[in-house]
Amino acid sequence: MLMRALHDEGVELIFGYPGGAALHIYDAIFRQDKIDHILVRHEQGATHAADGYARATGKPGVVLVTSGPGATNAITGIATAFMDSIPMVVISGQVASHLIGTDAFQETDMIGISRPVVKHSYTVFDAQDIPKIIKEAFYVATSGRPGPVVIDIPKDMTAPDKLYDYEYPEKANIRSYNPPIEPEQNQIERAVAAIISANKPVIYAGGGAIASNAFKELFELNEILDAPITNTLMGLGIYPATHKRFLGMLGMHGTYQANMAMHNADLIIAIGARFDDRITNNPSKFSPDAKIIHLDVDHSSVSKIIEADIAVFGQVKNSLEAIIKTLKNNLDDYDSERLKPWHSQIAEWRSSHGLNYELYKDESDNNSILPQAVVQHVYNITKGEAYVTSDVGQHQMFAAQYYHFDKPRKWINSGGLGTMGFGLPAAMGVKFAFPNEEVVCITGEGSIQMCIQELSTCFQYNLPIKIININNEALGMVKQWQDMNYGGRHSESTYQNSLPDFIKLAESYGHVGIKIEKNSELKESLEKAFSMKDKLVFVDVYVDPSEHVYPMLVANDSLENMWLSKDKKT
Amino acid sequence: MIKRKLIMIMENKPGALVRVVGLFHQRGYNIETLHVDPVTDFSRYKFIEEKLETKFKENEISRLTITTFVSDSLMRQILRQLNKLIDVIAVSNEETTYLKGVLLDENLL
């Protein structure tokens, strides 16, 4: 009944790992051929893979795990999806009903443990309810502000010897749940009036705009507004990065021009973004002169950290459509020419302290390989069209800064929770969704070792992902903070020559490994890796271990105060 | 910081109460007092039934009262977070009510 309901819901793929309490379900999987099950090597990998699948496709990821350790191993992945509002349904086996509360073998209170990191959760108390619960779970996971939903199923609820009438509900009807969809017109009119009178507007778009599939609407809006636009780490790709009005990412490691524009703006149009601490730095010093228009589907995200002057609740896609419509009716009042001084100010910022795109021109072997240059080469070789997953740390920031995403859902990373180990399994999820597309995992030697067992899954299912291991032989971001704030005391951020031989490791999992140590080999070896279309290639690139990520906001200060290099501050 | 009262009408489902209590802990809010009763007199909540196009049955909904010491802005944030819980049908403080996700400018509960 569970499998039938999942099929009727449109599920094509489940990532999971079997175990005692889930065995009835696994037997049902064996006896059907409509849904594919992917056997991972660790439940965390299953959740990240389903998460990557969901981020790339927009469809909910589905995970199946057993009770106890299966369930607890899934928690990190559920929390990752929760923080980034990713639709996911996690089905966890549970010990049989009569054993619940008796400390039975592999019993854990999954509903209790997962409660703070799920949008909602269900326990199946009556097998007859399974179709209704599945329908509701997918509806909750995908509607409003998306998020993970857990369904805990005691083993006796899936016993094969019991039969029930089956009917899959057409619609989920939850009387207490009503996410906003259409915005209120009076708020739209206030927003348009503010837009018309602004002289220094900035559009600040985040992951919510991607979740709402608002690419077309955002582009259309800015064809009229001609305003500068910045994206959060989660929002990269929602506006073409190669567009002349794109400022780059903002925040902690945002570009100089993006942070300066935000600080000096007289109007910030926040679209599906939540003013988190990596963006605002010190909220009391944040953008002192800006009026804030905030478009969001979640009431609790608005005026949580920065007070919004105009709040527009609704699906941001619909809110943007409404703004475009109202704006078009008032086009005579809108003069994009008046933004000229603002654009020239931004151009000046951009040229004075822009990111250094010319880094890779100095590639003699006298210099160590720069991590930024690795990302630039990958960008050029893949023509900017690859799906790029990343882990967490310096390499993540370099990838976000130097790989320019022109389309949404191509940049897959753990923004909110910052989960090391996310990149490889997420790349698997993307590759299952788009087997003919190039999928690159930009990672570091720290992160990759947190879920490296999934190399085995990649071999079993023949997933020719390209792994670019930016190897600085240290936990780079930790080390950078220790350099900057702790007098260079590198407490537990290096491995004392204990790193494995990644090439042999990749080979033992059945893949190809390529080691790059010299600048003169960089381009050619990367090209070689990408030319092996049907192989997973693990590229281990040794980069300058002393390199830091810049710009970097000065702690607890405003957005105009940044470190631009090790010894230069704004 | 003033002592404030919150009233919620919520589905009487397993785990619903712990979601409310857990939210207070998780977000760093404090609970002074807490009181839960099953709703037996539905006549007071006819307007909710009409709004939701539903008919409450015996033992289906609970009324929950929480008092807490918080500032104005935090009060608003707590209301919004409680409104997000799927099992919460309506939540109100002295001035406002969230009824099925819609904000109304009076305490209806």
DSSP at A381: H
**Amino acid at site A388:** V
Contact B86 A116 (CB under 8 A): no
Residue among A113, A115, A151, A176 with most chain B CBs within 10 A, to mutate: A176
**What pLDDT is stored for residue A567 in this prediction?**
86
B5 bridge partner residues:
B67
Chain A residues with CB-CB distance to B26 below 8 A: 116
**What pLDDT is stored for residue A360 in this prediction?**
52
Max CA pair span of chain B? 39
**What pLDDT is stored for residue A361 in this prediction?**
59
Q: How far is B11 from chain A (nearest CA, A)?
A: 8
Contact B14 A123 (CB under 8 A): yes
Cβ A267 vs Cβ A543: under 8 Å: no
Alpha helical stretches, state H, A226-315: 256-264, 277-280
Contact B86 A120 (CB under 8 A): yes
Distance CA A364, CA A375 (A): 17
Selection from A376, A339, A346 nearest residue A259 by Cα? A346
Q: How far is B73 from chain A (nearest CA, A)?
A: 8
- pLDDT tens-digit map of B34-83: 999 999 988 889 989 988 889 999 889 999 999 999 888 888 899 999 99
Nearest Cα residue in chain A from B82: A300
Cβ B97 vs Cβ B109: under 8 Å: yes
Task: Report the mean per-residue pLDDT for chain B.
Answer: 90
Q: How far is B91 from chain A (nearest CA, A)?
A: 11
Peptide bond connecting A551 to the previous residue in cis, omega within 30 degrees of 0: yes
And the tokens for B93? Answer: 């403080």
And the tokens for A190? Answer: 């206030």
Chain B residues with CB-CB distance to A298 below 8 A: 84
Q: How far is A180 from chain B (nearest CA, A)?
A: 7
Contact B101 A177 (CB under 8 A): yes
Residues of A marked active site are found at 43, 105-106, 155, 477
Contact A115 B19 (CB under 8 A): yes
**What pLDDT is stored for residue A337 in this prediction?**
94
Q: What is the mean pLDDT of each run of 10 residues along chain A (570 residues)?
A: 95 98 97 97 98 98 98 98 98 97 96 97 96 98 98 96 91 91 96 97 98 98 98 98 97 96 98 95 95 96 93 97 97 94 96 70 80 96 98 97 97 97 98 98 97 98 98 96 95 94 98 96 97 98 95 94 89
Distance CA A290, CA A482 (A): 34
Contact B10 A112 (CB under 8 A): no
And the tokens for A106? Answer: 């592999």
Provide mean pLDDT across the span B16-42.
93
Distance CA B14, CA A150 (A): 15
Question: What's the ipTM?
Answer: 0.93
A93 bridge partner residues:
A153
Q: Report the SS3 class of residue A242.
A: coil
Interface of B with A (CB under 8 A): 10-11, 14-15, 18-19, 22, 26, 52-54, 73, 76-77, 80-81, 83-84, 86-89, 98, 100-103
Cβ A253 vs Cβ A549: under 8 Å: yes
- Nearest-by-Cβ selection for A115 from B22, B84, B98: B22
**What pLDDT is stored for residue B93 in this prediction?**
87
Residue among B51, B86, B87, B89 with most chain A CBs within 10 A, to mutate: B86
pLDDT at B99 over 90: no
Element (H, E) at A296: strand A291-296
Residues in Cβ contact with B43 at an 8 Å cutoff, skipping those fewer than 6 apart = none
**What pLDDT is stored for residue A558 in this prediction?**
95
